[in-house]
Amino acid sequence: ALDIGIVGLPNVGKSTLFNALTKAQNAEAANYPFCTIEPNKAVVPVPDARVDALEKLLKPAKTIYATVNFVDIAGLVRGASKGEGLGNKFLANIRESTAILHVVRCFEDGDVAHVDGSVDPIRDIETIETELLLADLQAVENKLERTRKQRGDKKAATLADQLQVLRDHIAGGEPVATYTPPNEDMAKQLRELALLTAKPVIYCANVDEGGLTEEPELVTRVREHAETRGAEVVRICARMEEELLGLTEEEQAEYLTEYGVTAGGLEQVIRTGYKTLGLISFLTAGPKEVRAWTVTRGARAPQAAGVIHTDFERGFIRAEVISFEDYIKYGSEAACRSAGVLRVEGKDYVVQDGDVVHFLFNV
Ligand code: GDP
């Protein structure tokens, strides 16, 4: 499954963020009967202005957004890689995630204790990332040892040399994400090892309400660190997002007047997460339903059809595709057809983000 694991030191706001995501899930749960509700997983609709626009245009009976999964992985602390406490279980949870959302405390609050006694996001990031690096180092060293034991096997010897390079890369403090495998064999090894620091990371800088209007220095430092990793940063006030989701629209408006800030951090977390997983959405639109569907970037038309129904993939004939912009411009599928902007695409067509698609298939 494509899950985003939420990690971070204790008391940085992970549960608060996860609660907000769970509320966002539950608010829409009725439209997602196909999603099972699990205590540590939030299946959250991805806000999508294109879906909103098509809904407004077509007034369908039902509107369904794409979803993204967030998994709460609490309890990662210093020493986790040595299996202290429940460390290993958390690392296993991260291993199963496709991407990592790293929550970092960027708010000052004397009432909220910090495990290391002071607020310092870069030190915190390094604490967590060191644990992940140590776990990866261990995994690669184990593999290296096993490979070395395969004496007389020339292929194994080559692999051992390459694993040694990777081992040194990690031991030098560099995440696996910045290591490029020299060949397909090693790329395959990497996939099998499912190393933690190979996963894409999003940093979530958790700020106070005040930190939304003016970016705190602490967040700027997180941005600088993220840049060296090619990672994205989202700034959010988790506490406000959580509180707002429980309020009526009127109360929300009051809250916004009081603090002079608008919510939207949660939306950004969800959208950035979806993007980081390498996912795109195509759309289906009709009087019954407007819906966004998820495919991996690069998916071809038959695979996209298969997301809707396996029979659609097996019996795929062709896809009729309208760009979202054209659909809105002409107002209906029929109008797009007359205007000549409806394209007929075959099995090799690579589906684009925002395509409005109608599949034709044999049953
Ligand atoms: P976790 O241990 O990382 O899951 O952290 P929690 O979500 O339990 O948050 C720890 C404490 O920090 C709780 O008392 C939260 O209410 C508080 N907290 C979370 N976000 C913020 C914030 O943006 N500002 C302030 N002042 N407190 C926050």
> What is the model's pLDDT at position 36?
74
- If asked whether residues 314 and 331 sit together in one domain, one would say yes
> What is the model's pLDDT at position 83?
62
Pocket test for ligand 1, best of 6, 14, 16, 241 (most atoms within 8 A of CB): 16
Domain boundary among 241, 276, 311: 276
Could you give the ipTM of this predicted complex? 0.91
- Of 227, 12, 39, nearest to 121 by C-alpha is 12
Residue 293 placed within a domain: no
Pocket test for ligand 1, best of 70, 76, 112 (most atoms within 8 A of CB): 112
Q: State the Cα torsion 105-111-117-123 to the nearest 10°.
A: 10
- Of 43, 106, 115, 131, nearest to 234 by C-alpha is 106
Residue 4 has pLDDT above 60, yes or no: yes
Question: Greater confidence, 68 or 79?
Answer: 68
Model pTM score: 0.90
- Determine whether the shortest distance from the Cβ of 93 to ligand 1 is under 6 A: no
> What is the model's pLDDT at position 55?
97
- If asked whether residues 191 and 205 sit together in one domain, one would say no
Taking only the tens place, the pLDDT of each residue in 109-118 is 878 888 888 8
Residue 51 placed within a domain: no
For ligand 1, atom 14: residue with the closest CA: 112
Are 169 and 179 within 8 A, CB to CB? yes
Domain CATH for 109: 3.40.50.300
Domain CATH for 176: 1.10.150.300
Handedness of CA 158, 183, 190, 180 (dihedral sign): positive
Best mean pLDDT range from 85-89, 130-134, 250-254, 256-260 = 130-134
Are 197 and 132 within 8 A, CB to CB? yes
**42 C-alpha vs ligand 1 centroid, how far in Å?**
19
> What is the model's pLDDT at position 86?
53
Domain boundary among 244, 276, 308: 276
- If asked whether residues 79 and 218 sit together in one domain, one would say yes
**112 C-alpha vs ligand 1 centroid, how far in Å?**
7
Q: State the Cα torsion 304-307-310-316 to the nearest 10°.
A: -20
Residue 84 has pLDDT above 90, yes or no: no
> What is the model's pLDDT at position 260?
73
- If asked whether residues 261 and 317 sit together in one domain, one would say no
% of the chain at pLDDT higher than 70: 97
Residue 85 has pLDDT above 60, yes or no: no
For ligand 1, atom 25: residue with the closest CA: 208
**13 C-alpha vs ligand 1 centroid, how far in Å?**
4
- Determine whether the shortest distance from the Cβ of 73 to ligand 1 is under 6 A: no
- If asked whether residues 328 and 251 sit together in one domain, one would say no
> What is the model's pLDDT at position 276?
93
- If asked whether residues 35 and 106 sit together in one domain, one would say yes
Q: For residue 31, which amino acid is it?
A: N
For ligand 1, atom 2: residue with the closest CA: 11
> What is the model's pLDDT at position 255?
79
> What is the model's pLDDT at position 290?
97
What contacts 117, CB < 8 A, 6 or more positions away? Answer: none
Please state the rounded mean pLDDT for residues 165-180: 96
Annotated binding residues for ATP: 11-16
Rounded Cα distance between 192 and 13, Å, is 32
- If asked whether residues 206 and 164 sit together in one domain, one would say no
- Determine whether the shortest distance from the Cβ of 107 to ligand 1 is under 6 A: yes
Residue 9 placed within a domain: yes
Domain CATH for 302: 3.10.20.30
% of the chain at pLDDT higher than 90: 72
- Total structural domains in the chain? 3
Q: Residue 361 forms beta bridges with which residues?
A: 316
Mean pLDDT across the chain, nearest whole number?
Answer: 91
**46 C-alpha vs ligand 1 centroid, how far in Å?**
24
Residue 253 placed within a domain: yes
- If asked whether residues 245 and 99 sit together in one domain, one would say yes
Residue 28 has pLDDT above 90, yes or no: no
Domain that holds residue 311: 298-361
Taking only the tens place, the pLDDT of each residue in 229-265 is 899 999 999 999 998 888 888 888 887 788 777 768 8
> Edge to edge, what strands does the sheet with 62-64 contain?
62-64, 289-296, 279-285, 355-361, 316-323, 343-345
> What is the model's pLDDT at position 1?
67
What are the phi and psi torsion angles at 98 (to 5°)?
-90, -35
- Determine whether the shortest distance from the Cβ of 19 to ligand 1 is under 6 A: no
What contacts 219, CB < 8 A, 6 or more positions away? Answer: 106, 121, 205, 207, 211, 233, 235
- Determine whether the shortest distance from the Cβ of 112 to ligand 1 is under 6 A: yes
**237 C-alpha vs ligand 1 centroid, how far in Å?**
10
Confidence of residue 106 (pLDDT cuts 50, 70, 90): very high
- If asked whether residues 110 and 12 sit together in one domain, one would say yes
Residue 52 placed within a domain: no
Query: In the chain, what's the furthest Cα-to-Cα distance?
Result: 74
- Determine whether the shortest distance from the Cβ of 8 to ligand 1 is under 6 A: yes
